């Protein structure tokens, strides 16, 4: 291997290794943070259960302790299976929230917006960035003048006279120069996965998907670089074409796609949601007495006869919160429907930008990005609804939860989403590009056999 | 002497105007700027409407909450909404990634929340098309394609030798080319900023400060001149056209993408922000638990009570008919505020320290320096965001104190049974916040401005030195 490819590939390898190490550090710190004791509430879950056990054992326990409304549940989004490879903007989304009887659906995730906005805007150097942005640039730099160089020197004609076929010459040079960059990425991925912790079948499967995704995107750029090399007349035009293609596909097209999506299907505004949720909250609190009557009527069979005269703090708090949640929940459902429609639109049109498709595919495989964060927030909200229903009955019946009831709602576990739509549309789009580029490159190379200059 | 410079400049300008690649890139940049401008103005106008509606809703909800205990009202709280700067349509800066609202409630300081970026479907690294992005990233690329061959290609074609033979000096040649490049830079800066700001006439609710628009033109002129200087330097050093192109392009990639990313990475590693759960625990363990569950309450309440009594020259609480519960609540505010001053003070210090790292990084990249100045002028930078967060917190403390004091002086024995009405809610001021003035912004970004000037002078001098040596070599 000559000096230029060696230097470029080595530099690329160093950047990839740095990205993996940095990702591993982030994952480790996140896991550590998630494993720390839950001290965000006055009455921790551990203390709550201890009080409940004491109460069930007949020991004197204050009525404020182990009350259903105070059962604090922590909902957390663990790093993705290969989250270390796509952590760039993970801190933008909430990864932990607390639930108790006083929360409402809009307030599960609070005070998480601590990162500096500039840092979030620039993101971090993760392996997904290295693959989607830097790999194409490296391939362009390594492959742009495979044929143009020989054309300029006049050696292409000599090679053809010696019986070398342009198609063989082109592809062999392109693969020779490009393969090391793929190997570097695959090795970095494997090492990054092994170093992240224990392996299980889910991790292995994700790694296979991840490597296949990288290979597909690499293939796309290899065929595109081969096409540029085959079409270029001289080194300068080859360089110009390569840079134009890189900027067009990696920088401009994804930006235009994002711009188009955000203008066609403007994502619902969080400020707007906040305003309507607040109005709904005020409305609910203003009509609390009516709400109370309606709730008692709906739950008549579950409530003791004396409930009509009962107006303790917890019951009123629960009823007012139920009323707020009912209204806020409906708004959040509408908000979620709008987001889902926007996502469907993005899945349908993302194929026009291979880099965007690859980016979303790698995010889906690694377990990072917007879709996963949204899924987590939805799962947390659904969990909250079940939790709230369960503590409601006990609160209104003026009793503590049983241990079994409490255990059934005391733990939240995040179920990884299957982003089939994102993955399939990304893979299909990229496969089409690879086929088209390969076909056009081969046709151009075949034409060269007759007229090498 | 002047004739040579003017002749070179004239010839260069004619060449530039006829450069097909440059023209294509300019047309593309203008088309994207128009589209981005229209889209951004529409979005900012929409954001402006949403903010006005939200502000109205918040005020109405607050005023029409009916009779309630003042402390309950303090828990219900109010929202501080970040103003939407009209020039945010030109450069949205960091605002999509920064919270647009602050909930001002009793007992808790909250960070700005409701970030627009959280609802963006794509978190692709370069996926924000604004006029400023086109002007700061794409137009410099157009300058690269225009100027990379300025000297290198002349050397390749032999026309440089002709100039040497005509006794033209290196600095005359460079000055001529530099003048032409600056003329192009000026035209680009004026035209592109004007195109980007044109849609404002369709949105009469958004007023633009004319001096800020002028400052933008000046900043982009300075930025483009520096970048042109760098490309001319590369062209002077390169031995062939395509080497000059590759070097200039790689430099552009480094300046536009790598330096900002590396700077942000270093900034976050060197000055990490606390994790959300640790931060929430710290609030519970330091601002809440010691007061409500620990022993801090007694001392704090005694201190506050003494202060109130001294203020009213009273001997004891009963003589003033002070409500004890309200006294305790306000004492907690004072206790918690000291903790928040430390916790949030450290947090925002980290944000500013990260900014300082990026400021240093901008010394390596005229593109980053230009972007930072542009954000500052448009009022969409981190500095403005931190000021907003701090102003909102100041306002929260004022509101909560006012409500607690009302309960303290008027609740008597009723305590939490005491209810205030609309007349109290009306005395609570709306949140008002003034963004930094243009002169403050320019002062704050003086390092970046100096950086751009330094790049211009340094690149020009080096190019002159390199070319001078080459000229002397050829003459010998």
CB contact under 8 A, B127 and A255: yes
Structural domain contains residue A57? no
Q: Is B437 left (phi over 0), alpha (psi -120 to 50) or beta?
A: beta
- With a pLDDT cut of 90, the percent of chain A lying above it is 43
Question: CA-nearest residue of chain A to B294?
Answer: A42
DSSP states along B29-79? HHHHHHHHHHHHHHHHHHHHHHHHHHHHHHHHHHHTS-SB-HHHHHHH-EE
**Local structure of A79: helix, strand or coil:** coil
Q: What is the mean pLDDT of residues A415-437?
A: 88
Q: Which residues pair with B79 in a beta bridge?
A: B103
pLDDT tens figures, A7-23: 889 999 999 999 999 99
Nearest to A118 among B53, B123, B355 (CB): B355
Q: What is the DSSP letter of B273?
A: P
Distance CA A335, CA A374 (A): 11
Structural domain contains residue A61? no
> Among B423, B389, B6, B29, which residue's Cα sits nearest to residue B179?
B6
Task: Determine the distance from the C-alpha atom of residue B116 to the mean position of all C-alpha atoms in its chain, rounded to a whole number.
Answer: 15
Structural domain contains residue A306? yes
- For B139, B232, B466, the CA distances from B228, given in Å and listed in that order, are 11, 6, 16
Q: Number of folded domains in chain A?
A: 1
Q: What is the mean pLDDT of residues A436-443?
A: 92
Q: What is the pLDDT of residue B1?
A: 58
Residue pair B33/B135 in contact (Cβ under 8 Å)? The answer is yes
Distance CA B168, CA A263 (A): 54
Nearest to B111 among A114, A124, A272 (CB): A114
The ipTM of this complex is 0.87
Q: What is the mean pLDDT of residues A164-191?
A: 92
The residue range of the domain holding A311 is 1-36+67-453
Structural domain contains residue A60? no
- Give me the tens of pLDDT residue by residue for chain B, a chain 476 residues long: 567 788 888 888 888 777 777 787 788 778 888 888 888 888 888 888 899 999 999 999 899 888 888 988 898 899 999 999 989 988 999 999 999 999 999 999 999 999 988 888 877 887 577 889 888 988 888 888 888 888 888 888 887 777 777 777 778 888 888 888 888 888 888 888 888 888 776 666 667 788 999 999 999 999 999 999 999 999 999 888 888 988 998 899 899 989 999 999 999 999 999 999 899 989 989 999 899 888 888 999 999 999 998 988 887 777 778 888 899 999 999 999 999 999 999 999 999 999 999 999 999 999 999 999 999 999 999 999 999 999 999 999 999 999 999 999 998 888 888 889 999 999 999 998 888 999 999 999 999 999 999 999 999 899 888 888 887 775 44
Q: What is the pLDDT of residue B241?
A: 82
Q: What is the pLDDT of residue A306?
A: 45
What is the torsion angle, in degrees rounded to the nearest 10, for the CA atoms of residue B200, residue B202, residue B205 and residue B208? 20
B264–A contact, CB cutoff 8 A:
yes
Which residues of A11-119 form beta strands (DSSP E)?
73-76, 96-99
Structural domain contains residue A200? yes
Nearest to A251 among B47, B110, B126 (CB): B126
**Local structure of B199: helix, strand or coil:** helix
Residue pair A123/A164 in contact (Cβ under 8 Å)? The answer is no
Q: What is the pLDDT of residue A3?
A: 79
Structural domain contains residue A54? no
Structural domain contains residue A49? no
> Among B352, B8, B334, which residue's Cα sits nearest to residue B180?
B8
List the structure tokens of A193: 């996965």
Residue A27 has pLDDT above 80, yes or no: yes
Taking contacts as CB-CB distances below 8 angstroms, the residues of chain B near A125 are 261-262, 265
Where do the structural domains in chain B lie, given as residue ranges? 2-287+325-475
CB contact under 8 A, A271 and B42: no
- For A133, A159, A213, B18, B330, the CA distances from A83, given in Å and listed in that order, are 18, 48, 15, 50, 45
Task: Please tell me the distance in Å from A430's CA to the nearest CA on chain B.
Answer: 17
pLDDT tens figures, A386-408: 999 999 888 888 888 999 999 99
């Amino acid at each position: 291997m000559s000096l230029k490819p060696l230097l470029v590939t080595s530099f690329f390898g160093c950047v990839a290794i740095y990205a993996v190490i940095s990702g591993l550090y982030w994952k480790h710190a996140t896991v550590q943070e998630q494993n720390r004791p839950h001290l965000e509430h006055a009455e921790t879950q551990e203390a709550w259960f201890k009080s409940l056990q004491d109460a069930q054992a007949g020991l004197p326990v204050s009525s404020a302790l182990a009350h259903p409304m105070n059962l604090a549940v922590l909902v957390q989004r663990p790093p993705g299976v290969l989250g270390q490879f796509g952590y760039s903007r993970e801190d933008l989304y909430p990864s932990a929230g607390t639930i108790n009887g006083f929360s409402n659906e809009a307030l599960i995730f609070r005070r998480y917006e601590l990162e500096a906005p500039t840092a979030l805007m620039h993101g971090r150097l993760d392996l997904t960035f290295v693959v989607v942005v830097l790999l194409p640039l490296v391939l362009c730099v390594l492959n742009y003048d495979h044929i143009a160089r020989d054309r300029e020197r006049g050696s292409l004609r000599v090679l053809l006279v010696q019986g070398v076929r342009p198609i063989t010459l082109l592809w062999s040079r392109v693969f020779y120069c490009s393969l090391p960059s793929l190997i570097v990425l695959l090795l970095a991925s494997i090492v990054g996965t092994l170093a992240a912790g224990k392996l299980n079948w889910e991790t292995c499967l994700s790694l296979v998907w991840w490597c296949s995704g990288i290979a597909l995107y690499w293939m796309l750029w290899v065929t595109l670089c081969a096409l540029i090399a085959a079409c270029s007349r001289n080194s300068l035009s080859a360089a110009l074409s390569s840079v134009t293609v890189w900027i067009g596909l990696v920088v401009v097209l994804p930006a235009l796609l994002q711009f188009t999506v955000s203008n066609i299907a403007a994502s619902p505004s969080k400020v707007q949601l906040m305003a309507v949720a607040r109005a709904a909250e005020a409305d609910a609190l203003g009509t609390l007495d009516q709400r109370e009557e309606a709730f008692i009527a709906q739950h008549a069979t579950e409530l003791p006869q004396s409930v009509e005269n009962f107006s303790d703090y917890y019951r009123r708090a629960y009823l007012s919160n139920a009323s707020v949640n009912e209204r806020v929940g409906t708004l959040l459902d509408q908000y979620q429907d709008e987001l889902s429609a926007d996502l469907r639109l993005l899945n349908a049109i993302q194929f026009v930008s291979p880099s965007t498709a690859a980016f979303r595919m790698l995010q889906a495989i690694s377990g990072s990005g917007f879709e996963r964060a949204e899924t987590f927030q939805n799962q947390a909200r659904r969990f909250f609804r079940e939790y709230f229903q369960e503590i409601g009955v006990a609160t209104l019946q003026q009793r503590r939860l049983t241990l079994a009831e409490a255990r059934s709602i005391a733990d939240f576990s995040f179920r990884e989403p299957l982003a089939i739509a994102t993955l399939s549309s990304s893979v299909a789009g990229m496969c089409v590009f690879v086929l088209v580029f390969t076909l056009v490159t081969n046709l151009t190379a075949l034409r060269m056999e007759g007229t090498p200059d | 002497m002047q004739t040579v410079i003017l002749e070179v400049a004239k010839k260069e300008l004619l060449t530039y105007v006829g450069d097909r690649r440059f023209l294509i890139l300019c047309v593309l940049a203008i088309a994207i700027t128009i589209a981005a401008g229209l889209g951004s103005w529409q979005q900012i106008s929409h954001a402006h409407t949403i903010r006005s509606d939200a502000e109205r809703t918040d005020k109405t909800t607050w005023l029409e909450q009916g009779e309630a205990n003042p402390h309950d009202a303090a828990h219900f709280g109010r929202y501080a909404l970040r103003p939407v700067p009209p020039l945010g349509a030109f450069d949205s800066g960091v605002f999509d990634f920064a919270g647009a609202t602050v909930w001002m409630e009793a007992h808790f300081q909250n960070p700005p929340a409701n970030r627009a970026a959280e609802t963006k479907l794509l978190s692709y690294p370069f996926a924000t098309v604004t006029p400023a992005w086109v002007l700061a990233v794409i137009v410099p690329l157009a300058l690269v394609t225009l100027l990379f061959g300025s000297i290198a290609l002349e050397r390749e074609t032999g026309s440089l030798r002709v100039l040497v033979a005509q006794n033209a000096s290196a600095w005359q040649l460079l000055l001529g080319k530099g003048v032409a490049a600056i003329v192009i830079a000026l035209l680009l800066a004026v035209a592109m900023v004007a195109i980007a700001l044109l849609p404002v006439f369709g949105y009469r609710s958004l007023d633009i400060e004319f001096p800020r628009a002028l400052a933008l033109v000046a900043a982009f002129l300075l930025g483009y001149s520096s970048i042109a200087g760098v490309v001319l330097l590369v062209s002077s050093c390169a031995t062939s056209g395509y080497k000059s192109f590759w070097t200039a392009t790689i430099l552009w990639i480094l300046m536009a993408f790598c330096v900002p990313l590396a700077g942000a990475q270093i900034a976050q590693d060197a000055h990490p922000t606390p994790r959300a759960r640790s931060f929430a625990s710290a609030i519970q363990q330091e601002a809440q638990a010691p007061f409500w569950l620990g022993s801090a309450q007694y001392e704090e309440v005694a201190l506050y009570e003494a202060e109130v009594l001294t203020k009213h020259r009273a001997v004891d609480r009963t003589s003033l008919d002070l409500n004890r519960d309200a006294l305790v609540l306000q004492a907690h505010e004072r206790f918690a505020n000291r903790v928040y001053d430390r916790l949030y003070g450290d947090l925002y210090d980290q944000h500013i320290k990260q900014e300082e790292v990026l400021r240093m990084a901008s010394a390596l990249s005229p593109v980053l320096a230009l972007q930072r100045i542009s954000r500052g002028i448009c009022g969409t930078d981190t500095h403005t965001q931190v000021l907003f967060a701090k102003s909102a917190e100041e306002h929260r403390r004022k509101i909560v104190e006012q409500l607690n004091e009302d309960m303290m002086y008027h609740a008597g024995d009723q305590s939490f049974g005491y209810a205030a009405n609309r007349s109290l809610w009306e005395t609570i001021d709306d949140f008002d916040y003034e963004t930094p003035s243009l002169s403050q912004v320019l002062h704050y970004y003086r390092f970046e401005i100096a950086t751009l000037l330094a790049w211009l002078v340094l690149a020009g001098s080096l190019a002159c030195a390199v070319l001078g040596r080459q000229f002397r070599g050829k003459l010998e």
